[in-house]
């Protein structure tokens, strides 16, 4: 079995090996630092994977369709069905770290009825904004008493917090995250070599950012979460 594993491992590119190693390290980090097996958090993770991530991707698709591109419809992504959106590795990352992703929605900027750069920003923003709105809605349900007391309220706090984390996480300007599309749209004179480099190594840069600057990401997450709770609760 070990020989089979090593043989398959050697068929991977160096980039793929590093990516797998980074995922494994993040899983170990999550196991060591988070109470991931609490009932409320497990329930929240399930809701994130089967509700929040599909809503996020559907928001991208709906915005592209609204702007005139039917590509998400033709590819079957204009739906809230979680089975067409879930990415196994991204779901695993959600479970162990709170950061993760679904399968990205594809769209064709040549089909939109507005300026391509404006469309790119609107489509990219639609996903993260949907996570922020889900966090707000969750806190409203807590405020009116529909998600209050015991496990339900703990679930709501976890679900809302992870949605805020996804909102901030997806706005990081590193490919393939939504923030990179906003960055490239706003870049006045795009350097395609830099863009290609960021796209090629974005996955590893992303994990490096989480490991080396996770505390920086946590700052806006904590500020936004605190403000939402103060305003709504």
Q: Spot the catalytic one: 57, 112, 185, 228.
A: 57
Tokens in use for 206? 């992303």
Whether 57 is catalytic is yes
Report which of 132, 72, 149, 134 is spatially closest to residue 103, judged by C-alpha positions: 72
Helical ranges in the chain per DSSP H: 2-11, 14-33, 39-47, 53-66, 71-74, 88-97, 116-143, 150-170, 178-186, 192-232
Distance between CA 162 and CA 45 in Å, rounded?
8
Distance between CA 48 and CA 92 in Å, rounded?
11
Rama region for 198: left / alpha / beta (φ>0; ψ in -120 to 50; rest): alpha
> Which positions are annotated as active-site residues?
57
């Amino acid at each position: 079995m070990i020989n089979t594993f090593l043989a398959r491992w050697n068929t991977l590119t160096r980039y793929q090996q590093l990516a797998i190693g980074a995922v494994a390290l993040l899983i170990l980090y999550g196991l060591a630092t988070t109470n991931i097996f609490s009932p409320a958090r497990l329930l929240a993770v399930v809701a994130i994977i089967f509700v929040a991530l599909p809503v996020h991707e559907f928001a991208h698709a709906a915005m592209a369709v609204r702007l005139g591109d039917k590509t998400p419809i033709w590819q079957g992504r204009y739906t809230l069905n979680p089975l067409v959106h879930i990415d196994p590795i991204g779901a695993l990352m959600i479970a162990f770290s709170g950061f993760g992703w679904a399968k990205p929605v594809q769209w064709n900027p040549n089909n939109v009825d507005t300026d391509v750069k404006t469309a790119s920003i609107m489509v990219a923003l639609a996903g993260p904004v949907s996570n922020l709105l889900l966090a707000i809605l969750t806190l409203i349900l807590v405020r009116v008493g529909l998600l209050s007391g015991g496990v339900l309220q703990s679930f709501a706090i976890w679900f809302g917090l992870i949605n805020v984390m996804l909102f901030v996480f997806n706005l990081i300007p590193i490919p393939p995250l939504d923030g990179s599309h906003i960055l490239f749209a706003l870049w006045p004179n795009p350097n395609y070599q830099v863009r290609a480099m960021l796209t090629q190594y974005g996955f590893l840069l992303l994990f490096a950012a989480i490991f080396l600057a996770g505390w920086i990401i946590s700052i806006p997450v904590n500020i936004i979460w605190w403000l939402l709770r103060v305003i709504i609760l």
